[in-house]
Structure 1
Amino acid sequence: MICPWCHEIVELRTDGTCPECKNEVNEEGEGGQEQSLPRSTELIDMFHHKFRCAKCGDGECDVKEVAMTGTGLSKLFDIQYNHYLFVSCCNCGFVEVYNPDVIRGSKTGSVSTVLDIIFGR
């Protein structure tokens, strides 16, 4: 999950605190209000801000959002419900692939899948 205090991608400790900033975080977000999930644009901004290449150590990256079909009927009807973020280093070209659903901690994209079905994208 993304900590609402430090905006780091973290796995909460057993006592419900963020391991990075040590603030208490509950599942609904701070103050008992429901925490909104980060949109793709927020995730892309986060990668641009915090990226460090695992291969060369450079800090500049390019982020592309990619949608793909699955197998079976989704492939037959060209329904692209698999979404990924491809983060490539601008220095050496090394690419890391991230699943935004895992980062958010929730499955999203049902609206775009429905639109793909309706408009035949």
Structure 2
Amino acid sequence: MIQCPWCGQEIELVDQECPECKTEVLPEHLMGSNGETNALEDAEADTADLDIETVIMNEFKCSKCGHDECITDELAMNGTGISKIMDINYHHFLFVSCTHCGFVEIYNPDVLRGYKSGKLSTVMDILFGR
């Protein structure tokens, strides 16, 4: 049993993959007890400067077919009530499509980023309409 460096669970590897988080765990990922940084810290440092779409594209693995290439696109939608009447699109979603099988996963970028995004596009939508 080892501790997965990605999800922190005590696991037994299955084909060099954590059965909990489905992330590849290599021997170099387990280093760090002798003062070296581990791969999780390195990955967090590497992704800190990237936008969320780039991070998703770099770490994508299709949950349907296992393919690792995708395309992303952001979509804005209006809600109900006054936003529908005035056609104000303030709901933003990130669509991630597998390039092999076409399976689509939908993410809320506000949750992934940790803050509300799309304020500029909402203001532009109010000022200029469609």
The one-letter amino acid paired with 2:80 is T
Matched residues, percent identical? 51
SS in 2 for 1:55: coil
Shift of 1:21: 2.6
Q: What pairs up with 1:1-121 in 2 under 5 angstroms?
A: 21=40, 42-121=51-130
The superposition leaves residues 24-72 of structure 1 with CA deviations (integer Å, 9 ceiling, x where unpaired) of x9xxxx9xxxxxx97xx82111121110000110001011111111111
Paired AA for residue 97 in structure 2: S
Once superposed, what is the RMSD of the aligned Cα atoms?
2.9
TM-score normalised over the length of structure 2: 0.61
CA deviation string 1:58-105 (max 9, x = no partner): 001011111111111101111000100100111111110000000011
Task: Indicate the structure whose relative CO is greater, using CA pairs within 8 Å and at least 6 residues apart.
Answer: 1
Separation in 2 of the partners of 1:22 and 1:80? 37
Query: In the TM superposition, what is the alpha-carbon distance from 1:22 to its structure 2 partner?
Result: 5.6
AA matched with 1:101: D
Secondary structure (helix, strand or coil) at the match of 1:81 reads strand
Determine which structure has the larger strand proportion and give its number. 2
Q: Structure 2 counterpart of 1:71, which letter?
A: T
Write out the 4+ residue segments of structure 1 that deviate beyond 4 Å after TM superposition.
none
Unaligned runs of 5+ in 2: 1-5, 8-38
In the alignment, which residue of structure 1 is the partner of 2:36?
none
